Amino acid sequence: MKKIILSLIIFSSSLTVFSQISKGTIAVSINGNYYDGSSSNGVTTNSLTTIGQNLNAGLSIEYYVTNNVFFGVGFDYYWGKEVIINQISNNAFKQLESMRVKSNLKSPNFFGGYNWRVSNKLYLIMNLKLGFGRYSNNSYSAFAWRPKIVNEDGTLTQVEFSETSAWEFDDEYSYFGSSLSPEINYFFSDKFGLCLGLGGIEYAVFDWNIDQSSWNVNFNPNYWKLGIKFKI
């Protein structure tokens, strides 16, 4: 993603169109991020595999009440899936544990912010966002094992896995979150530009219960949101 951003900036730097943001400007943004967090570690007799997929997308419209201050409304969508598989084996048996978690969040929001003009085309923005919605979560877990049968000639015979237990449950919560996040905007023409969300600090509450609240500080580039912004 970093190479794509750099290439677009280098390409568009040759354009000399002035693209100032000023009072009365209305801009629409579409951005998103997809992150594959799969990993595998351990040894042959005790391995742990994680398959993780995350999609985060957003749509927003903002209005500048001054040359620097803006307010807006938007909609965010998050979808995630994680599968964890642990295998343990020895001379007597093989054991398999697995868990699958699917989650999604649909969140309308409203926000305000302030932008600093770095150059004719480049802006640094700080956003304060308040969002709400419904968060749903589906979890499925299973445990299975199979014995190794020793034959009279000393060879091993493995039978099929027998599922000894499995359970599934669904959870749904109301969600309220506030976040403070920096963003870079680069306009390569008078109307169109790139926007890059750099992560941020978020406070979230589920079911309006303070005991189910959390802080999240995440500036990891793997989760930066790249998008396009255009003025109307």
As a whole number, mean pLDDT of residues 109-115 equals 96
Q: How far apart are the C-alpha atoms of 46 and 93, rounded to whole Å?
A: 12
Q: Which of 43, 26, 12 is CA-nearest to residue 189? A: 12
Q: Which residues are CB-neighbours of 141 under 8 A, at least 6 positions away?
A: 97, 98, 99, 100, 166, 167, 168
Residue 155 has pLDDT above 60, yes or no: yes
Q: Model confidence at 149, in pLDDT bands (50, 70, 90)?
A: low
Domains and CATH numbers, the chain: 54-79+100-147+171-231 (2.40.160)
> Is residue 196 within 8 Å of residue 223, measured between CB atoms?
no
Please indicate whether residue 167 or residue 45 has the higher confidence score (pLDDT): 167
Residue 143 has pLDDT above 60, yes or no: yes
As a whole number, mean pLDDT of residues 44-56 equals 88
pTM: 0.77
Per-residue pLDDT tens digits for 30-44: 999 999 988 888 777
Out of 39-48, 183-192, 196-205, least confident range = 39-48
* Residue 166 CB neighbour total at 10 angstroms: 11
